[in-house]
Amino acid sequence: MKKYIYFDYASINANPDEIIFTSSATESNNMALKGIAFNKKKGHILVSSIEHDCVLNAAKWLGKNGFEVDFLPVDKNGIVSPVLVKFQLIFLMLIC
């Protein structure tokens, strides 16, 4: 039996073909990260070193499949330094 979900697409200014329902957050994260990455074909990905395992694993997988991935350290409060992010972005702009 098919289940139908009512969703008010207009309330978020979206079309039905722009929304994908998944069975879990892990599936959603994998779809988002890999979908964006493979749409770009190549690139450099910055990831916090304390992301959820599904994000870390997707990033590692992308790293094995042609993408450059950097895992950024966090401080004692779990925050990535904005200075480090700025440095990484400037460096990436210089090498691209």
Q: Is the per-residue pLDDT at 79 higher than 80?
A: yes
Helices (H) then strands (E): counts for the chain: 3, 2
Domains of the chain: 9-95 (3.40.640.10)
* SS3 category, 71: strand
Question: Are 29 and 52 spatial neighbours (Cβ–Cβ below 8 Å)?
Answer: yes
Backbone φ, ψ for residue 80 (5° rounding): -75, 135
pLDDT, one tens digit per residue, over 29-49 is: 999 999 989 888 888 899 999
* % of the chain at pLDDT higher than 90: 56
Beta bridge partners of 70: 46
- Label residue 1 by pLDDT band (50, 70, 90): very low
Residue with token string 């309330």: 11
